[in-house]
Chains A and B, each alone.
Chain A
Amino acid sequence: MSSKKFEKTLETDVVIIGSGAGGACAAWGIANKGIDTLVIEKGDWLKDDTYDDDELHYYILKKGWPSIENEYSMADLYRGKESKERPHRMGQSYGCVGGGTIYYAGVSSRFYREDFEKYKIWGDIPGANLADWPKGFYEEIGPYYSQAEELIGVSGDYSNDYARFNQLNHRPRLLPPLPYHKIGERLNDAAKELGWNPFPIPLALNSIYNEKTNSNWCISSGMCSGYPCAWGAKNSVDQVVLSNLVDKPNFSILTNTLAAFAETDSKGNISGVVCINRSSKEKFFVKAKAVILACSGILSPLFCLNSQTKQHQNGLGNSNDLVGRNLMFHIEGQRGAQFDGDFGNEEFHNLKKVMVTDFYIPDQSDEFVNHMSIQMGSKSGPIRYVLSKVPEGWGRQYLKDMHKNYMQYHELQAMCEDLPQLSNRVTAADRKDVDGMPVAHIHHRFHKMDGLAFIKTMEKMEQWLQAGGGKMITGISSDMVEWKRLIDQGEDIPPMRRPYGYHLMGTLRMGDDPDRSVVNRYCQFHEVPNLFCVDSSIFPTSAGVNPTLTIQANALRVADKIINLSRSQWK
């Protein structure tokens, strides 16, 4: 297809597709150096007055969330067969300016050194496709972690994270940690009694008034994970990054615009991107010197697969058929308990306060190689509490108990690494989305080691809850009982019955070897030199903590590289 077909053509130096965690930080790094930068975002700016603690709207009816049916199709792989296609909670991302950071919980952990050397440490694992991050990556990303922490506004304190603190090669630049409140103190003490080293979760929420962004401090209000912050204390990238760029003459953002596919020139370089205005359905062409993908770990590979040109007949950068493979999600899960005691009417609903990483690296007795951490979880809103935690009952006594129990119910959250596997992948489906483009088809099954690591994490969570005085512990799902049985019998584990995956990683693997990876150490496509990716698609492995700070730090790193390129090649 040729750009001559379009009546409207725009021209810029750098096009960034997606305005979420990665896209916004790349835009920051590039536009601040005076380079013409255009961000294309398929969603809109969220209006402030739509922010509200409305559990039904945001969390249950998922009104703020994209329609998964429109974006994805899903097939679970189990015992070599694909189950019936069904819409799935796995693989969600949000379609709005700021992407997932508007709705995220803000956990902003750095990865450990060991996370970057997975293959070097563990070697070949049957069924998995482990890899190292490019050599020296940990050293290289250090200063960018600090830069990202400062740009975004991360609160926390790593000094008690004994393993990480000793290896930090670049000092964190953090706001003070958020207060623990009573339940946080209780679990902090309990972890210490167990001989663990609890520390405050690094959070992209302001612990104090943030002068730089003129934004509120977090009051640990009601709903945080899954909701925009009505108080303005969550440091989502629309607030702290993009809103500071919009007045720059060399920066612009086109919202409500889908980047549908790319066109390439005779050398196989990208000449530009075909876009669709999602209201008028008008198609137009954006000519660019470089294109940066930041659509998320599922939609970036989809863009490549949907871009089949004469020079890239299998999709962009996909001659080795690696685009879309090695999809990872993390295994997340909650366990909760009732705690005796008066927690008063404290404002402590956002309980993302304390975490432990003491068993982050597996020990000799473990039959898995996955990394893991445990965090205090956010409290579910009252509707989910009453429907899922205390689902039976009604009437006087029930309500009396419910009123008391809600304040005394607290949860922990597991963050467990899942291993990359070639068969876990994103392909382009036959079905089309509302804009006429093929939706992503997701093939996914957890590795046996993922199951074993998850079971251990859940056991550790029980230990922690019990040490804190927790009773009536919830959250050992029937999935795990079944998994344990199957693993004992040497069988594959089936898909989780109610899985969810908010961390989308691995599908455009970074590496030095063009035969075994899609992008190089600067996230530049081996086969398309003016195409880059700055979301978590490039992660060779997923680590046992949340990905967003690493996405942001890496995007700032790649932006610097692109600036250097632009100086040598574009002028």
Chain B
Amino acid sequence: MAKIISENKILNNKNLIRLIETLIPNVNDAPSGVEAGVQYYLVKALNAHRKNILPSYEVILKSLEIISKEFYKNTFWKLDDDHAEIVVSKVQVIESGAFESVRNLVFEGYFAHPRWRDGKGKSVWSAIGFRPILRNQDQFGEI
């Protein structure tokens, strides 16, 4: 069956990658959202159990670009960290419902079992002290 949204469209979307990195930056020793492979989760989720979030996802990406251009005359992914955070905060206010859905989706992907992120994000759980039992421990390395 044809994908609702293609892998390319997600993985190569620089504004999306910047958004994930802004929502979940690298702190303490934990990987950032992008290092954890949240974008791979989005490919799976938006084509399946979270396809209802697709409209919100599109609204947010559009708003990020509009606000970014309006305030900083630049495309969103090129902004520095501080400016990116300001733009995301504004989008959060203007598109609160859609923002919440997308924010939740990104965090859901971050903390999901690594198999949902194509095995990436090995140290996500240990950063918060969570130590689950995984069957295929070797496949996912030290988590």
A-side interface residues toward B, CB under 8 Å? 49, 51-57, 60-61, 219, 221-223, 229-231, 345, 347, 349, 381-383, 386-387, 391, 394-396, 399-400, 402-403, 406-407
Contacts and interface: CB of A to CB of B under 8 A. Distances in A.
Given A49-B135, A403-B128, A386 B25 contact: no
Contact of A60 (B24, B108, B130): B108
B119 to A, nearest CB: 13
A207 B62 CA distance: 54
Interface in B92-129: 100, 103-104, 107-108, 111-113, 115-116, 125, 127-129
Given A222-B131, A387-B104, A394 B23 contact: yes
A49 B24 CA distance: 32
Given A55-B112, A60-B108, A383-B111, A403 B27 contact: yes
Given A230-B135, A383-B111, 14 more contacts: A52-B113, A55-B112, A56-B113, A60-B108, A345-B129, A349-B132, A387-B107, A394-B103, A396-B25, A399-B24, A400-B28, A406-B128, A407-B128, A407-B129
Contacts, number: 93
A230 B133 contact: yes
B22 interface: yes
B54 to A, nearest CB: 17
A232 to B, nearest CB: 10
Contacts of B27: 396, 399-400, 403
Contact of A383 (B23, B30, B112, B134): B112
B132 A222 contact: yes
Contact of B49 (A52, A61, A219, A391): A61
A395 B111 contact: no
Contact of A221 (B24, B107, B131): B131
8 contacts: A52-B134, A56-B116, A221-B133, A223-B132, A349-B131, A394-B88, A399-B25, A403-B129
Contacts of A54: 112-113, 115
A229 B132 CA distance: 11
A345 B131 CA distance: 9
Query: Which of A49, A51, A231, A394 gathers most chain B CB within 10 Å?
Result: A394
A230 B113 CA distance: 14
Nearest to A56: B112
B135 A51 contact: yes
Contacts of B125: 382
Given A61-B49, A386-B107, A394-B23, A406 B130 contact: yes
Contacts of B133: 52-53, 219, 221-222, 229-231
Nearest to A48: B135
A337 B31 CA distance: 27
Contacts of A394: 22-24, 88, 103, 107
Contacts of A219: 133
B41 to A, nearest CB: 9
B85 interface: yes
B108 A56 contact: yes
Contacts of A399: 24-25, 27-28, 30
Contacts of B128: 382, 402-403, 406-407
B103 A53 contact: no
Contacts of A396: 25, 27
A394 B25 CA distance: 9
Contacts of B22: 394-395
B132 A395 contact: no
B45 to A, nearest CB: 9
